[in-house]
A and B are shown apart, each in its own frame.
Chain A
Amino acid sequence: MTAFQKIYTKLNQITKATCSVNATGVGNEELATVDGRLAQVVKIIGDTVTLQIFAGTEGIGTDAEVVFFGKPPSLKVGEDLAGRFFNAYGEPIDGGPELEGEEVEIGGPSVNPVRRKQPSELIATGIAGIDLNNTLVTGQKIPFFADPDQPYNQVMAMVALRANADKIILGGMGLSNDDYLYYKNAFENAGVIDRIISFVNTTENPPVERLLVPNMALTAAEYFADIKHEKVLVLLTDMTLYCDALSIVSNRMDQIPSKDSMPGSLYSDLAKLYEKAVQFPEGGSITIVAVTTLSGGDITHAIPDNTGYITEGQLYLRRDTDIAKVIVDPFRSLSRLKQLVIGKKTRADHPQVMNAAIRLYADAANARTKLENGFDLSDYDVRVLDFAKKYSFEILAIDVNIDIDKMLDSTWALFREFFSPAEIGIKEEFMKLHWKA
């Protein structure tokens, strides 16, 4: 890289996240250091080059040394990534050796849509709120929309460990040190450390650094999925903090903010990441499970809103007070790719059983409203309420770990316990097969 390095020492503008320098021959998105801190070119007007400094600009002087690298941010990819922990720049933080693989630019081009394969492989997690009602598929991208106090990191770790992936890549953004250690321990205890790769920016690191994390994780994922044909699961947590970093930078660049002070390009910025989820023609796949924390449960905020428009569904956690356990909320959660596998890779009655149970669960919610408003309950109301409680406890609770056939059988058993065939409203062919005891 030395031949390309150009050095400048006169900054003419410094903001909280960016600085400008007069320089020539610099390329867009090129990497640089400013006083030793990594930075990236985000704008060039004439000979004024604007850089975003990942570690922030605190203490940077107008005489700081700016060194341009002549290339965009990159990661050295190879088998030696496996089992390793890195910071946002892809530098080891586990005391292990430097990476030796081939250097590739992060945030590279997208897969030609006609070369994609349709996702078709089910990811079993043992959690009914996912497998039964919101089945995940390899190549899918889906976030948990979670309140900050919900146990989303635990559920994510659970999903990751049960998912039977060849590699699990953790992209941590603004992860608290405790949560980082939680993941590390969970992976170590499960004895899967050699399948884990982790890029972490903790709350102790500067926020703008986070902007590199998802692309680092996804570049590593592309190596294993595309080149090695492996099944890769990427965990991104917390994408809300990633978006906050985006807004810091765009704000410093005087861009006109759109809704909720987010940059107008938020949708495209997020889509570029999430669309890296793919089923490759040669068999490998990248699946993205992310966390988007909500503020006050508001999903109309620009971050969850844009995310929802990009991802293939979303999962909500909810504490079911009737059973004092956490469940994956059957109402608002949705996996859009489930129809590619349910009833096809799973038992044929799966779609109908799933829908019938959710409809009854919704009836239970209505009955509860009636109860709260002081109205009398009908016999049916009482039965759906009883059903809902058992359904929640025996099937939905996230600490229940059973396979899909068992989930279906248990649901049929509850149907028989509480309802008449007409109240279930399932196609005749399945009633014939499964209704009898």
Chain B
Amino acid sequence: MTKGIVKGIIANLVLVEVDGPVSQNEICYIDLKGVKLMAEVIKILGKIAYSQVFESTRGLKPGDKVEFTEHMLEVKLGPGMLSKNYDGLQNDLNKMSGVYLTRGEYTDPLDEESSWDFKPLAKVGDKVTGGDWLGEVPESWIAHKIMLPFTMTGQYVIKSITPAGHHKISDEIAIVTDEDGKDHVITMVQRWPVKIPIRAYVDKPRPYRLMETGVRTIDTLNPIVEGGTGFIPGPFGCGKTVLQHSISKNADADLIIVAACGERANEVVELFVEFPELDDPRTGRKLMERTIIICNTSNMPVAAREASVYTAMTIAEYYRSMGLKVLLLADSTSRWAQALREMSNRMEELPGPDAFPMDLPAIVSNFYSRAGYVNLSNGATGSITFIGTVSPAGGNLKEPVTESTKKAARCFYALSQDRADSKRYPAVDPIDSYSKYLEYDEVQEYLNKHISPTWVDEVTHTKDILLRGKESYDQINILGDDGVPLAYHEKFRKSELIDRIILQQDGFDRIDQSTPMNRQRYMLEFILDICDTDFVFESFEEVQPYFVHLENLCKQMNYAEFEGSDFNRFKAEVAQIVAERRAK
């Protein structure tokens, strides 16, 4: 095993002189007075391995000893990850002792002692390869597949398989024989290097199935699909995190992985507090039971922050290989990019725009490309839908992280400062934002089949009304209330009606915070009906009060139980008011 000694320290970058071979991204441990600090090699120059340390380097001295491990940064995969809270290196945070994080304390991501109800899915004599399902154990409400380790890419024959029964994760569950006749013992645990995508699938077709998020401005206006990618850029305080949290609560996924990457600890605490209490609307179980939280907050070591998004993605890929619908949320990918920038600066690399590394666009797009919808070899399908937030410096979208991400992600949910300032939440700008999926033929077909035969047209119509409303508003502002035709006021107020009832959604109201698709359809058609009505007004002064009244009533509908008595009462009232001014 290669050893080394510390030669230099620049913050968390440590220069190590090695006595043998090392590889790029190899993990090493630096011995600081008996405490082992984990580090990753990120550049090699002659005998010097530049390593980024995943911990504080306070007190480290030249001459301190280093041991290399011959493997890259890996995650440990197996049953028992659901509802865990990990740091960026997959240490189980709950297993750590003490109130403060202790340097050099690494904890087991899985529970060696817990017992799982194993059921074989393959039989002796089956030919298998990496990723094939050998058996399954129930993990929460998921049938967790025990797979032949992804690293075993050759052909193997099952020599023996353990019959149904309770087993611990490191118990033998099968023996497989390779092409050379050598036997390998398989357990429920495997490891995988996080920076390398898991490719245990047949192909990655274009995604087409709607991924419901419960957020109307997304589902109705700019839907994302299972296996799709999207990003949410926005200045600070515009609602990126609240939006991601509501998606994580309501999305129609089997499994949610939330990567809190370099953001506030209190926001993660919110998840810790709420998720064990909140019900998953679909299964009736607690949300926490379908959630894994990767938590590397802003005050935790910056190199581990960089690793955290890869850790999260790799765990997502692992579950996708079981034929599951995984939703991965990362907040914020800008912090990850900044972690890259900090290291690149310390290594005195030639900087790109805004001092980010030159290869930032490639790094971002490689990462997004790990998401997707896949066909597995056994005919099952799985998906990773990925939504990242971006925190553009100065709120300016013309900065390297936003631009790189825009090239990589297919949905763009731009949060607007103006909307946030006027508390129009979620502050997703309806005009700048887009979903490329809406242009996919197979997506359109899916929506029209599953929501309503005219759905895509209705959505387009909605966008048109919004755009016309904005144009009218601009004209009113330039020419004055009485300087424009009456119709401009009506157009503007109709777009406002859509804005307030469909787009704006109270993230903190029990009912309004999540809207199922059938209710979204109902409300959109209800509101479009009003928008398509010709009204009679004597003067522009009548327009605003009338529509404000309508808006308030429709808003009460949003707060009411769908098709309950209150809902129907408000609906009837709206109908009556509409009738009063309907052109004959």
When distances are taken between beta carbons in the complex, the residues of chain A under 8 Å from B345 are: 255-256, 264-265
Cα distance, A435 to B62, chains bound together (Å): 72
**Do residues B61 and A26 form an inter-chain contact, with CB atoms below 8 A?**
yes
Specify which chain A residues have a CB less than 8 angstroms from the CB of B335 in the assembled complex. Answer: 267
Find out whether the CB atom of B555 lies under 8 angstroms from the CB atom of A268: no
B299 at the interface (CB under 8 A from A): yes
In the bound complex, residues from chain A placing their C-beta under 8 Å from that of B582 are: none
A422–B556 touching, CB < 8 Å: no
- A191 contact set on B, CB distance < 8 A: none
In the bound complex, do residue B273 and residue A118 qualify as a contact, i.e. CB atoms below 8 Å apart? Answer: yes
Partner of A118, one of B56, B266, B354, B556: B266
Given contacts A313-B237, A378-B481, contact A109 B298 (CB under 8 A): no
Q: Mark B42-65, 1 if CB is under 8 A from A, else 0.
A: 000000000000001111111100
List residues of chain A with CB within 8 A of the CB of B541.
378-379
- B263-275 Cβ-contact flags toward A at 8 Å (1 or 0): 0111011101100
List the 10 closest A-B pairs by CB distance, nearest first.
A300-B394, A271-B298, A275-B299, A308-B236, A45-B8, A258-B355, A110-B299, A27-B59, A375-B480, A29-B58
Interface membership of A325, Cβ < 8 A: no
**For chain A residues 280-322, which have a beta carbon within 8 Å of chain B?**
280-281, 300-302, 305, 308-310, 312-314
Residue A368 at the B interface, CB < 8 A? no
A258 B480 Cβ-Cβ under 8 A = no
Contacting pair A305 B58 (CB below 8 A): no
Q: Are B101 and A111 in contact (CB under 8 A)?
A: yes
Quick check: is A434 within 8 A (CB to CB) of the other chain?
A: no
Tell me if A28 is interfacial: C-beta within 8 Å of chain B: yes
B303 nearest CB across to chain A (Å)? 11
Q: With an 8 A cutoff between CB atoms, is A114 at the interface?
A: yes
Contact B396 A300 (CB under 8 A): yes
Question: B297 at interface (Cβ–Cβ under 8 A)?
Answer: yes
Query: Min CB distance, A7 to chain B, in Å?
Result: 17
Residues of A at under 8 Å CB distance from B?
Answer: 24-30, 43-47, 72, 105, 108-119, 139-140, 226, 255-259, 264-265, 267-268, 271-272, 275-276, 278, 280-281, 300-302, 305, 308-310, 312-314, 331-332, 334, 336-337, 339, 351, 355, 358-359, 362, 370, 373, 375-376, 378-380, 422-423, 425, 427-428
Asked whether A113 and B59 contact (CB < 8 A) given A44-B8, A339-B508, A358-B423, the answer is no
17 additional contacts (CB under 8 A) given A44-B9, A267-B298, A376-B481: A25-B61, A28-B9, A43-B10, A72-B58, A112-B98, A115-B99, A258-B341, A264-B338, A265-B11, A268-B298, A305-B236, A337-B266, A339-B508, A351-B508, A355-B423, A358-B423, A373-B477
Residue B549 CB within 8 A of the other chain: yes
Residue of B nearest to A359 (CB): B423
- A300's contact among B266, B295, B395, by CB below 8 Å, is which? B395
Question: Cβ of B265 and Cβ of A45 under 8 Å apart?
Answer: no
B548 interfacial by beta-carbon distance below 8 Å: yes
Given contacts A29-B59, A300-B395, contact A271 B544 (CB under 8 A): no
Chain B: minimal CB distance from A309 (Å): 5
Q: Tell me whether B103 is interfacial, beta carbon within 8 Å.
A: yes
Q: Which of A256, A310, A359, A427 has the most CB of B within 10 A?
A: A256
Q: Report chain B residues within 8 Å CB of A268.
A: 262, 298, 302, 338, 342
Within 8 A of A (CB), among B259-299: 262, 264-266, 268-270, 272-273, 295, 297-299
By a CB distance below 8 angstroms, the chain A residues around B555 are 425
Number of A-B contacts (CB under 8 A): 198
In the complex, how many angstroms separate the beta carbon of A362 from the nearest chain B beta carbon? 5
Contact A427 B264 (CB under 8 A): no
Check A380 against B270 for contact (C-beta < 8 Å). Answer: no
Residue of B62, B295, B548 with most chain A CB atoms under a 10 A cut-off: B62
Give Cα A111–Cα B262 distance, bound, in whole angstroms. Answer: 14
Does B559 reach chain A (CB closer than 8 Å)?
A: yes
Kindly list chain A residues whose C-beta atoms are within 8 Å of the C-beta of B206: none
Residue of B nearest to A27 (CB): B59
Let me know if B266 and A139 touch, CB within 8 A: yes
Known: A305-B394, A427-B556. A112 touches B99 (CB 8 A): yes
Given A300-B395, A308-B237, also A113-B295 (CB < 8 A): yes
Output the nearest chain A residue to B96 by Cβ-Cβ distance: A112
What 0/1 readout, one digit per residue, does chain B (388-427) give for beta carbons within 8 Å of chain A? 0001011110000000000000000000000001110000
A428: chain B residues within 8 A (beta carbon): 556
CB contacts (< 8 Å) of A362 on chain B: these are: 422
Question: In the complex, what residues of B have CB within 8 A of residue A140's CB?
Answer: 266
Chain B residues contacting A44 (CB-CB under 8 Å) are 8-10, 61-62
Residues of B within 8 A of A281 (CB): 99
Report the Cα distance A265→B298, complex, angstroms: 11
- In the complex, which residues of chain A have a beta carbon less than 8 angstroms from the beta carbon of B341? 258, 264
Per-residue A-contact encoding for B68-108, CB less than 8 Å = 1, 0 else? 00000000000000000100000001101011111100000
Measured in the bound complex, the distance between the Cα atoms of B345 and A99 in whole Å is 40
A380 / chain B contacts, CB cutoff of 8 Å: 544-545
Contacts A30-B59, A309-B236 given; does A332 touch B421 at CB 8 Å: yes
**Chain A positions within 8 Å of B551 at CB level:** 425
CA distance A332 to B298 in the complex (A): 24
Say if the beta carbon of B482 comes within 8 Å of chain A: yes
Establish whether residues A114 and B58, one from each chain, have CB atoms under 8 Å apart when the complex forms.
no
Cα distance A43–B14 in the bound complex, in angstroms: 10
A150 to B521, CA, bound (A): 50
Contacts of B556 in A (CB 8 A): 427-428
Q: A72-B59, A139-B266, A275-B297 are in contact. Are A264 and B8 (CB under 8 A)?
A: no
**A46-B59 contact, Cβ under 8 Å, with A117-B269, A259-B394:** no
Interface presence of B377 (CB below 8 A): no
The reply to whether the CB of B7 lies closer than 8 angstroms to some CB of chain A is yes
